[in-house]
Amino acid sequence: MAVDPRLAGRRVHVKVPATTANLGPGFDTLGLALSVYDELDVAVREAPGATVRVEGVGEGEVPTDESNLIVRSIRHTFDHYGIEMPGLELVAHNVIPHGRGMGSSGAAIVGGIVAAKGLLEGIVDIDADGLLARATELEGHPDNVAPALFGGLTIAWMTPQGPQHKRLTVHRGVSLLVCVPESTTMSTALARSLQPASVPHEDAIFNVSRSALLIAALIQSPELLFAATEDKLHQNYRASAMPETDALIQALRAKGFAAVVSGAGPSILVLCGDPAQRLAAAEIVAENAATPWQSHMLAVDFKGATVVAHPVEAAA
């Protein structure tokens, strides 16, 4: 394949929100987009291959060549649509913490796919289903990439035809607190390995009821958040790998806060029905944490990933 000449000179800017998945009982299904963003500039160049400059989180740590996850996501998208990826220069402005359960890998994947969509504008039309399908192929499950793509609260599920999603608007009374340990990380693969292959029937029923209740709490009745965030499918099994996270969640829930593990952890998500509750929850974390934690009072991102194409500069 030859590089499509229409790609010459194209440049895009991408912005992708962090996410928090599971939300307690909604394992591998529910996710929220957060008001923390990674940004990405991608420019087509004449030389083949790709180079990446990382600024912020991951600088000096993540790959800066074609093995970078963003580049691999761009290439995956180009390959799917039968178009050769051109030479690229990328600048990644990273804010989302890595390995903390805030969807950093999902954001990288979505950033690459949305960048590819912007670069291919007018050449290939990639719709919402195509974006979610490509992202899920790389991520393995859609619960993080769906809110990163579409914003808000998302329900994601798999079908024989591929991943599907439904985006919902969160009640304006819901406020978010995300507490992030400064030094502790958690591998998603490790977290998943700690779960059993099967669970008791009553535990499955318990989570079905709480997941249904959680949707109602998030979009209509925030006063139900505490009861709605109970879980028996994954958090207890993973607790041994995140003892401080587990201890802080127990301390928060003992005071009536709807605290859960954010994604695979070790960060903590607290869903509050009143913005003032976030201050009290943050104080509990500060008083009980044995190591440094940062508490972030966040909003729900309602836009999801965005891409802006810069005008192609005319040849001199």
Partners of 44 in the β-ladder: 88
CATH of 5-168+301-310, one of 3.30.230.10, 3.40.50.720, 3.50.50.60, 3.40.50.300: 3.30.230.10
Low-confidence ranges of the chain (pLDDT < 70): 1, 190-192, 194-195, 313-316
Q: Which residues are annotated binding-site positions?
A: 97-107
For the chain, domain boundaries: 5-168+301-310, 175-298
Question: The tokens 């401080």 sit on which residue?
Answer: 244
Return the HEC string of the chain: CCCCHHHCCCEEEEEEEEEEECCCCCCCCEEEEEEEEEEEEEEEECCCCEEEEEEECCCCCCCCCCCCHHHHHHHHHHHHCCCCCCEEEEEEEECCCCCCCCCHHHHHHHHHHHHHHHHCCCCCCCCHHHHHHHHHHHHCCCCCHHHHHHCCEEEEEEECCEEEEEEECCCCCCEEEEEEECCCCCCHHHHHHCCCCCCCHHHHHHHHHHHHHHHHHHHCCHHHHHHHCCCCCCHHHHHHHCHHHHHHHHHHHHCCCEEEECCCCCCEEEEECCCCHHHHHHHHHHHHCCCCEEEEEECECCCCCEEEEECCCCCC
Question: Residue 72: what pLDDT?
Answer: 98
Question: Residue 315: what pLDDT?
Answer: 47
5-168+301-310 and 175-298: same fold?
A: no
Cα separation, 210 vs 23, in Å, equals: 11
Question: The tokens 């508490």 sit on which residue?
Answer: 295
Decide the pairing of beta strands 87-94 and 50-56.
parallel
Angle, CA 211 vertex, CA 186 and CA 261 arms, to 5°? 20
Question: Residue 236: what pLDDT?
Answer: 83
Residue pair 196/237 in contact (Cβ under 8 Å)? The answer is yes
Q: Is the dihedral of CA 160, 163, 166, 170 positive or negative?
A: positive
The string of pLDDT tens digits covering residues 4-13 is 999 999 999 9
Question: Residue 316: what pLDDT?
Answer: 41
Confidence (pTM) = 0.94
Q: Which residues are annotated binding-site positions for ATP?
A: 97-107
175-298 belongs to CATH 3.40.50.300? no
**Cα separation values, 167 from 148, 228, 244, Å:** 11, 19, 33
Question: Residue 1: what pLDDT?
Answer: 63
Tokens of 82: 């039968």
Question: Residue 88: what pLDDT?
Answer: 98
Cα separation, 60 vs 57, in Å, equals: 9
Strands of the 175-181 sheet, one edge to the other: 258-261, 268-272, 175-181, 293-298
Instruction: Please return the burial class of 82, using the count of CB atoms within 10 Å of its CB with bins 0-12, 13-18 and 19+.
Output: exposed
